[in-house]
Amino acid sequence: MSTEKTACILCSRNCGLEVEISGGKFVKIKGDERHPISKGYICQKAARLEFYQNHDDRLRFPLRRQSDGTFTKISWEAALSEIAEKLKNVRAEFGGNGFAFVGGGGQGNHWGGIYSRQLLSAMNSRFIYTALAQEKTGDIWVNGRLFGNQLCHTTEDIEHTDYVLFIGTNPYQAHGIVNARNTLKEIQKDENRTMVVIDPRVTETAKMADVHLQLKPGTDAFLISAMLSIIVRENLHDKEFLAEQCTGFEVLEKELLAIDAEDYAKRADVEFELVRKVARDFASAENACVRVDLGTQHTLHTTLNGYLEKLLYLTTGNFGKKGGNNLHTSLIPLVSDTDERKKGIRTAKHKMFPIGGLYPPNILPDEIRHSGEDRVRAVWVDSSNPVLTFADTNAYISAFEKLDLLVVVDVAMTETARMADYVLPAASQFEKLEASGFNLEFPENFFHLRHAVFEPLEESLPEPEIYTRLLEKMNLIPKSFSLLRIAASVSRVAYLASMQILFKRKPKLKKYASSIMYRTLGKTLPKNAESAAPLLGLTTAYAARYGKQVKAAGYEGNLGNALFEQIIANKSGVIISKHEFAEVWSLVKNKGGRIHVEIPEMLEALRELRDEKLSNDDFPFILMAGERRTYNANQIYRNPEWRKIDPKGTMRIHPQDAAELGIENGAEVVCESAVGKIKVFAEIDASVRLKMVTLPNGYGLRYKNGEPNGPELNLLTPGDNCEPMTKTPFHKHVPVRIKKV
């Protein structure tokens, strides 16, 4: 028995854990009280991580598909040699257009993403499709226009706010904020603080709120526009802030004044007087902030919603202050900054441009199946299960069957892995070095590099080793860098200087810096910490940019190296920088440091709302797919026995709708969309609106290749049910019909 420090992998918070382990198993899991952010907090899902670590779908050795569809064991040497040759052939014959990468750094598997991205460079490809690009690209695009760079990202200071507005999010279940349930309880108990929830369902968070605006699904843009119109019309906006810190408000103001707020509230099916009260109180609060999530980002008007929710705190001056919304720094940027006007970056079929360097997953089947010579021929999937988790499962199945090569790197034998030509077993998140990928805090920023607590299962390998071996097989990096290894043994400064000399002499090697550092600097690091080597480059760059803030966190001397050493040494994670709220403005990347609130594309979208009419008689219900519940999580929990309740993933339906359809509680029903239908079990629940149903995410897995355990949601989600600009799927607004079996 031993006690180790690690972190949860089930959501973006990555709460610190203290675990007791024995015989390759978790014996006890509790919160790590020394963790600087979570401070001992965990939810019930983290306590069942043994179901992730040990189950019958774990991969143990490389597999190669046979002609009859079965798999046979293969050595790493043979697998990587064969894959390397096939990849080189694809690159030689079809160029970068023939290759696409899916996932990488997902499902809690963040640190491996630093290594997996090198494969795109190796294949001369830019096409990377991730879950982030079917969730957040509308938000990323708006950030780029407002703040001058798509790496700019806002966070919310909920812990210190007087007035919080939760729109399309249920942090009691979905978390996403610091120690969610404790934070919500603190706000609820404080009579001087106000919590407002905007959501079509009476969620757990809505039950705790002072005000719940239970709007009609898909009408977020109408409701937020109405609030903004009220704020401007009643002169509640912060004129001084807008004049000094923003540009373009005069144009925006005209559009907001043209809105009929009472009509828009009616379209959202919310009482106008209540909407006006929330708008007035939000604008009048000493400080206020807004928190959104997939409820606004996976529904109609995805990008416009992102623009409007940001206008709420910008027009009221609740930005760059305690208790408001703020930008933040990042040690590992999650995205890059891309410009859709650049040539040569669009996909072959849809002519889609990247946002934040990412492409939307629901167009990938078409990019594979289209008839042109520039179609995608080979796909590499890492820490992702697109057949199950991306829109339109059947489209993915038919597209993947057309590929010349499909390789999957994963911890488990997923639904996608069962279609692959090669399946490469990755070590689990607790069998290798890992990191918190979403360090989004402000004013203090945090980073947690967590060490392995188990040995890799049988022949599985951590991703850094897999990708480094592959690059060597492709003859893209040599197997030995003797001068770098000598420099690494001398000092960090000498090592970095030697790296600069190497890249100056051989610039093509710079694309593979992570694997080169892993093979050289990694040899000087503690056991099982070798893959942390690229962190030195990140901490050096971070300290050079934010030296004052790093010093404020207590670091001295060579700041980049000091930060590097502390991150590796402290198994509970460390605060890497401390900022002042006024320093938010240094993170705005527009020339002059002002926020550009006039975005022509968004103002046009705002005007188009006036004439919008929604109706679908063939599919009278709206399905909100992917509801967060007590016992569902991301799909890395494959064994359904982890669930204490709701084993079937029931469909919630309003009592009146159930009565009209003759559906009893627990009855089996058919839920049908334009592209497919599934059988589910009804749960009569007054928390949902009329003509609205919900189904949870994280179900539908075929554990041990058996029958699906619960609803396979993406048999219902059409790939073309998406926003035209970003191609973000409307998972929270799927037209369906319900029939009793």
User: What is the DSSP secondary-structure string of 608-666?
Assistant: HGGG-----TTS-EEEEEEE--TT--STT---GGG-SS-TT-PEEE-HHHHHHHTPPTT
Q: Are 446 and 481 in contact (CB under 8 A)?
A: no
CA angle 735, 739, 741 (to 5 degrees): 145
* Residue 134 φ then ψ, to 5°: -110, 15
What pLDDT score does 333 carry?
87
pLDDT at 108 exceeding the cut of 70? no
Q: Which of 689, 111, 657, 103 is nearest to 385 (CA)?
A: 103
**Spatial separation of the C-alpha atoms in residues 360 and 353, rounded to whole Å:** 9
Tell me: the pLDDT tens digits for 593-640?
999 999 999 999 999 999 998 777 899 999 999 999 999 988 889 999
Q: Are 429 and 9 in contact (CB under 8 A)?
A: yes
What pLDDT score does 172 carry?
97
What pLDDT score does 616 carry?
78
Query: Across residues 393-411, what is the average pLDDT?
Result: 98
What pLDDT score does 109 carry?
74
Tell me: the pLDDT tens digits for 664-704?
999 999 999 999 999 999 999 999 999 999 999 999 999 99
Q: How far is CA 6 from CA 20, 23, 656, in A?
A: 11, 17, 47
Tell me: the pLDDT tens digits for 546-587?
999 999 999 999 999 999 999 999 999 999 999 999 999 999
User: What does pLDDT average to over the chain?
Assistant: 96
The pTM for the full model equals: 0.97
Specify burial of residue 89 (Cβ count, 10 A radius: 0-12, 13-18, 19+).
middle
Q: How far is CA 713 from CA 415, 663, 701, in A?
A: 14, 21, 10
676 DSSP assignment:
-
The percentage of residues in the chain with a pLDDT greater than 70, rounded to a whole number, is 100
CA angle 697, 132, 416 (to 5 degrees): 60
What pLDDT score does 201 carry?
98
Q: Which of 465, 433, 466 is nearest to 452 (CA)?
A: 433
pLDDT band at 125 (very low <50, low <70, confident <90, very high): very high
What pLDDT score does 634 carry?
83
Q: Are 407 and 381 in contact (CB under 8 A)?
A: yes
| Spacing of C-alpha 337 from chain mean position | 17
Tell me: the pLDDT tens digits for 363-380?
999 999 999 999 999 999
Query: Across residues 254-268, what is the average pLDDT?
Result: 98
